[in-house]
Amino acid sequence: MEFISPTDLAKERIQTVQDYVLFSTQAVANLFRKPFYFADMVRQADAIGVGSLPIVVLTGFFTGAVLALQASNTLEHFGSITLVGQLVSTSMVRELGPVLTSLMVAGRNSSGMASELGSMMVTEQIDAMRALGTDPMKKLVTPRVAASVFMLFFLAIISDLVGLAGGGLVARVLLHLDSRQYWSYAWQTLVFQDIVMGLIKPVLFGFIIATIGCFYGMNARGGTQGVGRATTQAMVASSVLILVLDFFVTRFLMAVLSFH
């Protein structure tokens, strides 16, 4: 591993951020310019959304189940075990549903996009597309970004519902609570602000997942080793960025939506 001065390292990082911002801006701008590759968008939506469904369902279900199990311990001390539904629904909808779904999709798809586009880059398929007059950004990147944003919105909703079902099953079978009471608390505790927060986050995270994956893929260099490096970087960068963005988005939405 070669040594690099802090100044050069800082310049390199700033250059990467700048390139990423320009890359993301171009990917969004392409949505409003012809040609529109609808067939590619549908194909990517199927690969990203339907393909990720099993892992999202499993993650959501067991997250809700373990939330109910852990919460019951604490709530039992205060004689409020019936509030399990309230805690599971608030936690899943506002925070854990969108974030865990995004992390699962990032692990599966962000790295997948980086390896797929990276392979095309090092085998000069993307250069061949340019030579034939096709814009690789419009053909390869924009459909993936649009499909990720669209599908993650629905995947987060499915994760929330399955998480509530997992919590409900634990409440009924292990905690011996009344199912109607659980669902009543879970439903009544949710307010408009919770729903808005839970639906805005996956849209932003979907954008991060797709743009990061495509960015590292399109900038892969150095043969198969470069593709492997790009895949790892995409996975790490998208996961970290999701967690960092989650904090700032939560803080911003809490101020805007006037949480008390």
pLDDT, one tens digit per residue, over 169-218 is 988 888 888 888 888 888 888 888 888 888 999 999 999 999 999 999 88
Residue 24 lies in a domain: no
Residue 8 covered by a domain? no
pLDDT value at 243 more than 90: yes
Tell me the average pLDDT across 120-133.
Answer: 85
Q: Is 213 in contact with 144 (CB distance < 8 Å)? A: yes
Contact present, 246 and 201 (Cβ < 8 Å): yes
Q: How far apart are CA 233 and CA 118, in angstroms?
A: 12
What pLDDT is recorded for position 246? 92
Structural domain total, the chain: 1
Token pair 């960092």 is at which residue? 244
Q: 2 pLDDT band (50/70/90 cuts)?
A: low
- The whole-angstrom separation of Cα 218 and Cα 191 is 42
**Phi/psi-derived region of residue 133, left when phi > 0, alpha when psi is between -120 and 50, beta in every other case:** left
- Identify whether 27 is part of a domain: no
| Residue 42 forms part of a structural domain | yes
Please give the radius of gyration of the chain, using alpha carbons only, rounded to the nearest integer: 21
* Reported confidence tier of residue 223, pLDDT bands at 50, 70, 90: confident
> Would you say residue 18 lies in a domain?
no
**CA distances (Å), origin 226, targets 1, 109, 214:** 15, 18, 14
Is 6 a member of any domain?
no
Domain enclosing residue 184, as ranges:
34-256
3, part of any domain: no
The tens digit of pLDDT for each residue in 6-58 reads 787 788 888 888 989 998 898 888 888 888 888 888 998 998 888 889 999 99
Q: Is residue 4 part of a domain?
A: no
Which whole number is the average pLDDT over 78-100?
A: 85
